[in-house]
Amino acid sequence: MRILRVVLTVVAFVGVIALVLVGALYGLVTPERVQNRLTLALEENLGLSLRLSAPPSVHPLPDFRVTLPAAEVVRTDSAALVARWDSAVLELNPFAVFTPSPRVRRLTIEGFVTDLDALADASRPSEGGAPEWNIDEVRLNAGRIGFADAEGAPALITDLSGVLVDASEAGARGSLSGTLASNPAQGAVTLEGALDWSKGLRTLSVESPRASFDGLIEKRQTKGTAWAARALLRPEGATFAAPRLEGETETIKHLSVSAESLVLPGRATYVARTFSAKVDLERREGALTLQLEAPALEKQADGRLLTERFTLASRLVPPSAESAPLEGRLSGAVEADHLSAAGLFLGMPVTFQGALLVASNSADAHVPALAVTGDLTLGKISAALLERVRWVPELLADVRYEGTFRLSEGALKGFPKGLAGNLLLEDGALSVGPARGEWLGGALDLAARLDTDGTWDLAARVRDANAELGFPAEGSPLVTGRLHGELSAAGNLKEGLSRLAAEGRVIQGALGGVDLPKARAILLEDQPEAVPGEVLGQARTPFDELAWRLVREADGTLRVAAHMKAPGLEGRFSGDGTALPASLHAVFLFDADAKLSALPMAADVTVEPNGSARWSLDWTNALERVRGETGDVPFSFEHLKRNVERSVRDFWNGIEWPDWSLPEMPWDKPAEDTL
């Protein structure tokens, strides 16, 4: 019984203490005292004041819970707004309220709104403040945070939600997610890291920071992740150790940027050590990889980009395994206002002298991300590279180039030599001209434009060119003489040619492969039954002028028309096809003379792959017309001799024995050569 009395006494004593504590909870822990204690804690720890829209509600048991209504947090010294919320709930152990610094089990905040600049400007705790505080878990729901981006433009994260764990006066670990809304970017964003604010919010250290984004940047679908080993954020700038960025966009398959360290001393400036950037793109034309490396890279506030040296490696792998990759490496430097670079880009020799400027305000839609001015010289351009440039315009939307360009001699087969002029790349559109060069031995004036969607148009004019150079070097070309002409064309790099109109004239030239005056003379004198070989092959027909016109019809048909004026005759040509016609129909009209009235003669001419002109004359109709007007040629020895000689020569020349020569005819004198 004695033991039972002792136990009952102890239980009664504990019960009295519990009743006293419970009574104290209900009697001493009032909404007013809770509000006062919260206000005092904020003032002593952060130099902030709490303004509640109504008194808090307190629920002591079974868990101690304090529900705060909508409130504002302002600076004590200036009453400047730092943050506000719609409601907040604190949960802690019921009897922790009797400790000097209660440990909060959970803090849930709804509708938290703040600005990072205002939050960072919050004052340091006063010396008499509580040295420690702890919150096991902080949850944010439906919040909003405003801040200034790297270029100083306003930005906002809405629909903010997240959790911070082990929060104290030293820092916290956690993650936040929301929707980013800024001038260049809109999309979902996630932030993670271990925060250290032991030195105040104005000196914030983050271990293993990580940020991811999925949305639109400059209206382009973009996804990426950035992380670093450590970050230090201060009002005068930020420092990142081993930063790295990886992402992808609509036009870029994979993008990776890394550095040993990155310092952001101010708005729109940075200094990167051991910088590397790699871009991978894939199209049906091939896979392109660009990699830029520099031991140090600095961007100044005025937009200038500086580096003692850099290398740009390029590699284009065609889709077909049979085609060899195109590779190159450019080396250069950017010092003060001067950029110099030389080397190979995708196998093409490139030399550049000029200046480079990085836009300092991306919020301005009219300012590109990269502006370049200077003189660009290109060497030999391979056909394999030209076949795979259809998708290049869409990659240049953020680059602006204004300056001159020059194509070295032999840069492109069949292209103007030494073409040089003005070049403007702006908003993804490329404008060339006025530009001048040499084409077919004559002077060329050219202007062209290429838009971001691949649409292009071109206008050109050539003066005093050599028409013969427009045909392969082998054989007798269709036309020789001095060429003057103009051309206007338009189309799309992906869809092909849509418009073409060209016209001009060739003066003091000749038709290759036929001698029309000689054909008329033979018709009149000998009237052979077949076309004599001597009027074809290497024969020529001189003319004074050949006016021509080339037009692409709406259905895609290319039509050629020409009018020739020559001594004693004129001719008209016509032809059409889905490609540049390789065969033309011609009608010639010989002038009348004392022996014969005006004589028409039709012909077809085909341009062989080697450039030679192969003619087919309508000899039969012309012969009938001559005989109808002059009658048959009277028999004579001279007439017989010419016909026999002509027949033997044509037969002999038809035999492909080029090392043999035709023997002399029996009636030829030794000193004469009638061939």
Q: What is the DSSP letter of 271?
A: E
Looking at residue 502, its pLDDT comes to 92
Residue 214 pLDDT class (50, 70, 90 cuts): very high
> pLDDT > 90: what percent of the chain?
21
Give the helix/strand (H/E) hosting 19: helix 2-28
The reply to whether 291 falls in a domain is: no
Looking at residue 579, its pLDDT comes to 67
The reply to whether 501 falls in a domain is: yes
β-pair partners for 176: 162, 191
The reply to whether 97 falls in a domain is: yes
Q: What does the mean pLDDT of the chain come to? A: 78
- Provide mean pLDDT across the span 280-289: 79
- Provide mean pLDDT across the span 51-72: 83
Looking at residue 375, its pLDDT comes to 83
Query: In the numeric block, which tokens belong to residue 66?
Result: 């304090």
- Provide mean pLDDT across the span 535-556: 88
Query: In the numeric block, which tokens belong to residue 113?
Result: 């709104």
The reply to whether 202 falls in a domain is: yes
Residues 267, 409: Cα–Cα separation, whole Å: 45
Q: Is the pLDDT confidence value at 655 over 70?
A: no
Of 560-564, 579-583, 595-599, which has the strongest mean pLDDT? 560-564
Residue 642 pLDDT class (50, 70, 90 cuts): low
> At which of 233, 254, 272 does a domain end?
233
Q: What angle do CA 415, 477, 410 make, to 5 degrees?
A: 20
Looking at residue 362, its pLDDT comes to 43
Looking at residue 509, its pLDDT comes to 92
- Provide mean pLDDT across the span 591-611: 84
In the block, tokens 């889905």 appear at 578
Contact predicate 270/300, CB 8 Å: no
Q: 304-335: string of b/e by CB count within 10 Å (b at 16+)?
A: bbbbeebebbbbbbbeeeeeeebebebebebe
Looking at residue 635, its pLDDT comes to 54
> At which of 207, 233, 259 does a domain end?
233
Lowest mean pLDDT among 524-538, 576-590, 649-663: 649-663
Query: In the numeric block, which tokens belong to residue 78?
Result: 């200036």
Q: Is the pLDDT confidence value at 504 over 90?
A: yes
Q: Classify burial at 206, counting beta carbons within 10 Å of its beta carbon; exposed 0-12, middle 13-18, buried 19 or more.
A: buried
Q: Is the pLDDT confidence value at 295 over 50?
A: yes
Query: In the numeric block, which tokens belong to residue 378?
Result: 């290109």
The reply to whether 150 falls in a domain is: yes
Contact predicate 535/518, CB 8 Å: yes
Q: Is the pLDDT confidence value at 6 over 50?
A: no
The reply to whether 282 falls in a domain is: no
Top pLDDT among 162 and 201 is at 162
- For every residue of 80-103, DSSP letters joined together read -EEEEESEEEEEE-GGGGGSSSPE
- Nearest Cα neighbor of 551 from 580, 593, 509 is 580
Give the helix/strand (H/E) hosting 654: helix 637-654
3-class SS at 527? coil
Residues 279, 634: Cα–Cα separation, whole Å: 85
Looking at residue 673, its pLDDT comes to 40
Give the helix/strand (H/E) hosting 510: strand 496-514
Per-residue pLDDT reduced to its tens digit, 219-274: 888 999 999 999 998 877 889 999 999 998 877 888 899 999 988 887 667 888 88
Determine how β-strand 113-115 pairs with β-strand 134-148: parallel
Q: Is the pLDDT confidence value at 388 over 70?
A: no
Looking at residue 268, its pLDDT comes to 67
Write out the E strands in 526-645: 536-552, 558-566, 569-577, 583-590, 599-607, 613-617
Lowest mean pLDDT among 303-312, 614-623, 648-657: 648-657
Per-residue pLDDT reduced to its tens digit, 93-152: 765 555 666 778 888 999 988 887 777 666 454 444 445 778 889 999 988 988 876 666
3-class SS at 618? coil
Q: Is the pLDDT confidence value at 23 over 70?
A: no
Query: In the numeric block, which tokens belong to residue 623?
Result: 């012969």
> At which of 199, 233, 267 does a domain end?
233
Q: Is the pLDDT confidence value at 16 over 70?
A: no
Q: 60-75: string of b/e by CB count within 10 Å (b at 16+)?
A: beeebbbebeebbbbb
Lowest mean pLDDT among 167-171, 335-339, 401-405, 559-563: 335-339
Top pLDDT among 458 and 130 is at 458
Classify the C-alpha dihedral 238-241-246-252 as positive or negative.
positive
Q: Is the pLDDT confidence value at 482 over 70?
A: yes
Residues 58, 375: Cα–Cα separation, whole Å: 75
Top pLDDT among 342 and 469 is at 342
Looking at residue 670, its pLDDT comes to 47
- Nearest Cα neighbor of 536 from 395, 649, 375, 416 is 649
Q: Is the pLDDT confidence value at 82 over 50?
A: yes
- Provide mean pLDDT across the span 544-569: 90
Residue 391 pLDDT class (50, 70, 90 cuts): low
H helical segments located in 66-185: 116-120
Residue type, 648: V
- Provide mean pLDDT across the span 185-210: 87
CA 435 to chain CA centroid, Å, is 23
Provide the residue range defining the domain that includes 227: 43-233
- Provide mean pLDDT across the span 483-487: 93
Q: Is the pLDDT confidence value at 475 over 50?
A: yes
Integer CA distances (angstroms), 174 to 320, 511, 636, in order:
49, 84, 116
Query: In the numeric block, which tokens belong to residue 20?
Result: 């006293």
- Provide mean pLDDT across the span 408-426: 73
Q: Classify burial at 31, counting beta carbons within 10 Å of its beta carbon; exposed 0-12, middle 13-18, buried 19 or more.
A: middle
3-class SS at 652? helix
pTM of the model: 0.66
The reply to whether 204 falls in a domain is: yes
Number of domains in the chain: 2
In the block, tokens 């001009």 appear at 504
Three-state SS annotation for 465-506: EEHHHHCCCCCCECEEEEEEEEEEEEEECCCEEEEEEEEEEE
- Provide mean pLDDT across the span 43-72: 81
The reply to whether 384 falls in a domain is: no
Q: 106-118: string of b/e by CB count within 10 Å (b at 16+)?
A: bbbbebbbbbbeb
